[in-house]
Amino acid sequence: MSVKINRDEIEKLLPHREPMLLIDELINIKKLFSATAIVNVKKNSFFVQGHFPDQPVMPGVLIVEAFGQAAAALTAHGIDKSEYENKLVFLMNIEKARFRNPVIPDCRLELNIEAVRSHGRVWKYKGEAFVDNKRMADAMWSATVVDRK
């Protein structure tokens, strides 16, 4: 059975809200190991007007942000709620980010993410982004869980 969570459940795990909550769904969840995040990139997405007029492209930095949100949701979903209450996940570094093809609205961007390792409050992840089975981007990054204050 494939575990998945919807946007309402993601909002319970992440502090992000519109317009910066980028992931719409987390599917194929393997607890604390991997998942696929769905980002519905729309023609009315907040970045379209300025990036770029008449030829919209999802900014690479937002693809990286979506990777980070997906990883934070995967981690928060997998750990005990008492461990995650009053905590935030912060991006620490980004390694080897590559943007291979432009992500053009209207599309379904699928982010396949995997937790590579964890050491205390520091987690390392890798991910690949696809539209219609075509690789759009990939990256490795690290994040840490910190107290909300």
Distance of CA 125 to the CA centre of its chain: 11
Summarised one tens digit per residue, pLDDT across range 125-143 is 999 999 999 999 999 999 9
Classify 3-147 by CATH class. alpha beta
Catalytic residue among 16, 51, 77, 119: 51
Residue tagged 């949100």 (tokens): 69
Cα separation values, 117 from 19, 34, 60, 96, 123, Å:
30, 11, 24, 17, 6
- What is the arithmetic mean of pLDDT over 58-65? 97
17-41 pLDDT tens trace: 999 999 999 999 999 999 999 999 9
Provide the residue ranges of all domains of the chain, joining segments of one domain with +: 3-147
pLDDT tens digits, one per residue of 77-119: 988 777 777 788 889 999 999 999 999 999 999 999 999 998 8
CB 109 within 8 A of CB 41: yes
pTM attached to this predicted model: 0.94
Is residue 51 flagged as an active site residue? Answer: yes
